[in-house]
Structure 1
């Protein structure tokens, strides 16, 4: 295993060859370069850990090499050496970002010491970046509340594809948190230092859509008093998040498709083509394939934006996350409203878990904000919940047809038992009364309550 890769640059062949011989002997992979004008091509081909370069050379000198290396990669490790050693050069080298400075002639030991020090610095920096990335990933993941199998699968997939540059299509009902997932992907991507520009396609008027997305030049239309960048151009280098992309007008879809294909845009009223480098994350709550059949969505655009598809489950399919979400929102709104609300009563939590949440997480959040505002005790009670939620009896549960029959039947039976017994207990004053209504003995009812973990 190599100790590291070193690009050695000097127009003196003997100097390059001697450094290469010494460093190769000690396990380093060396790339000799005698013409500094070829530096950039060599840098791309070799991706060295360290650049070791003379200062005085024909063609590019060492300071030009240092400057360009830092422009290409701000973390580049460059070590300068020269036979014309002076304090001014040394100070300038360090000020401009050189790792170290070697005056000629230098001994083998001196060379090895500086190289080892540079490699250790790189190792520590890489480890620091790796740990920082891990911590960032954990922090971003913590922002999305939930521990159900379904939401973990979504986060695992989002984390995996974040490191790629593929376009992503998020499917999910309104209120499921599509923008949160989009931000999660952006934050974990290499584009995270550049902006994420969110665009709600449903709110852009047809007559302004082209100007909003592509920008316009001064005088392009009445009222265009100055040149304006569009949202696509603003996202350059980063991520463009198109929410409700199904609402994008057909002529704009065609122009956007061309922009994605050519990686260039032209502002409204402009002639110049502008290069854009963006990743597109789109979101929709509609079936785009059906819209394609109806002729209101371009098939080519669909395949361009749907390289990776992520389906975000509705809250009713991950009800085990409701207690976590409830406590999360209580903490947020208690602090915001300077309240001392600590949680919800058990019967209240049962009602929240029973409700199907057609508005998903957004509806739950609004419900908890309302409850915290109305609550004057430590625990939220049913009195603080909207009447339609309290009176909700539930709907028929149908397991996914993708499951084997026996497994689907088992899940459906469990759901039936839970809903039936909860309803039975809610309409009875005692277990004895409930067992008589159900036509089963009291012990059997008690065993069912324990088996399905139903709060009495």
Structure 2
């Protein structure tokens, strides 16, 4: 559902347009004169405006100019009777995206709305870049999904619950939502609910009056009051005490709060974004988190993927982080291709935060130089080193499999039939065509044979584990990220993509 302003001095015609939009469950505001636009835009910025009338009339031009002043770059579509001549280009402004025929049809408006929403998303992204909001970097499928969710929810006032492991960038998501929202000109106020003692959190959130408790020598604003007209970001909401959960729930329900030691209610004109690395549904089952608060916060959930699930984003993340280090005057550093390759095979328990710390450390160790694999921390080298030794094996098969002794082969006539290692289900793995290999026929292409064998074992492992990639990796004695890379290499469709 979006909000649409309809400007038309012909009230009957405007009513017909409004009926089409309301049938599609959109909010509408009809205006019959330029002065009425002030009241319409006072309710908040709409997604687009529909402007009908005669372009030769002064009122039509005045309305278009007023819309441009009230909401710069707001998408506008002109409503013209079917078959009427097109509006002269000199009458238009840059934010007029096109014309729609009257009577308005649902399909025609749906296409215009899609164009307007895309225009708004690009406009908000440009504004976010100007404000210096950290970019959410990544071209992988999980990150594109997160970016799309941010675009969808940013223009609303819905509460958002951002989940994911520590270091995945949950606060960056919150900052991007704020920067792309209509509250972007208001404050963005973060608070870590897990870092403040439970007995002090109420005062931090809602403020206190002078003398409210020992040590309260002056009145003080809380974070909700500081965030008026903007966004408050409640990080690590899963660590909030049960007593504070009740008080926060009341604020979310009634949109008012009181300072500690006061009985005067203050309206909470604040958008609430929350984040946690904990499994809140499990905490609800354990009685540690209120279910009603969870549903108040979880209106629009966004889950941040761990870095190990998107190794393809590591090169672009490294580029972004090294550029940030350089822009801040803390040196410059570059990574060799082999070093980048090694980083994509590391598990990254600390996620993007760990990667950012590594880039900063490398900029100190190798200022203005190229980092080679040997200069990576021992922890990373220990984890990826074994795979470096296997990199030259034909077809990428693991050394453990390649070093297995050959099975007992029988001699048949003039040649030897070489059976492959047993499959996961206990049967022998043969050549591509399913037959045993005859050495007397001229031998085999070992690289091709091992590649086929590896693909077959991967598919068997996926089948054996009911499509769970992590479980298949255990069956193959591989790390999950290694198996994901092999799925990509052989273009084997992952179960969740089927």
Q: TM-score, normalised by structure 2?
A: 0.61
* Per-residue Cα deviation, 1:312-369 (whole angstroms, up to 9, x for no partner): 100000111011111211222234345453x311221121011000000000110111
Query: What does 1:109-128 align with in structure 2 at a 5 Å threshold?
Result: 113-122=57-66, 128=73
Match of 1:134 among 118, 122, 135: 122
How far is 1:301 from its partner? 0.9
Match of 2:337 among 346, 367, 370: 346
**Structure 2: which 5+ residue stretches go unaligned?**
16-26, 47-53, 76-118, 407-419, 421-442, 456-485, 490-498
Verify the 8 A CA contact 2:139 2:313 in the aligned structure 1: yes
1:445 maps to 447
C-alpha distance in 2 between matches for 1:5 and 1:135 = 23
1:265 aligned counterpart, secondary structure: strand
Q: Identify if the C-alpha distance between structure 1 residues 344 and 448 changes in structure 2 by more than 3 Å, giving closer, same or farther.
A: farther
How far is 1:119 from its partner? 3.2
2:172 aligned with 1:228:
no
| Worse-matched range after superposition: 311-320 or 231-240 | 231-240
2:416 aligned with 1:424:
no
Verify the 8 A CA contact 1:334 1:372 in the aligned structure 2: no
2:168 maps to 176
1:51 maps to 34
The number of residue pairs the alignment matches comes to: 347
C-alpha distance in 1 between matches for 2:305 and 2:188 = 23
C-alpha distance in 2 between matches for 1:259 and 1:335 = 41
Q: Identify if the C-alpha distance between structure 1 residues 249 and 51 changes in structure 2 by more than 3 Å, giving closer, same or farther.
A: same
How far is 1:436 from its partner? 7.9
1:156 maps to 148
2:194 aligned counterpart, secondary structure: helix
Query: What does 1:307-456 align with in structure 2 at a 5 Å threshold?
Result: 307-337=299-329, 339-341=331-333, 343-376=334-367, 378-393=369-384, 422-425=388-391, 443-445=445-447
**Structure 1: which 5+ residue stretches go unaligned?**
7-22, 31-43, 53-64, 77-108, 395-418
C-alpha distance in 2 between matches for 1:371 and 1:442 = 46
Q: Identify if the C-alpha distance between structure 1 residues 333 and 46 changes in structure 2 by more than 3 Å, giving closer, same or farther.
A: closer
1:88 maps to none
1:136 aligned counterpart, secondary structure: helix
C-alpha distance in 2 between matches for 1:220 and 1:158 = 40
Q: Identify if the C-alpha distance between structure 1 residues 330 and 215 changes in structure 2 by more than 3 Å, giving closer, same or farther.
A: same
How far is 1:382 from its partner? 2.0
C-alpha distance in 2 between matches for 1:377 and 1:74 = 49
Verify the 8 A CA contact 1:4 1:119 in the aligned structure 2: no
Q: Identify if the C-alpha distance between structure 1 residues 159 and 45 changes in structure 2 by more than 3 Å, giving closer, same or farther.
A: closer
Q: Identify if the C-alpha distance between structure 1 residues 173 and 24 changes in structure 2 by more than 3 Å, giving closer, same or farther.
A: closer
| Worse-matched range after superposition: 266-275 or 378-387 | 378-387
Verify the 8 A CA contact 1:217 1:268 in the aligned structure 2: yes
C-alpha distance in 1 between matches for 2:169 and 2:127 = 17
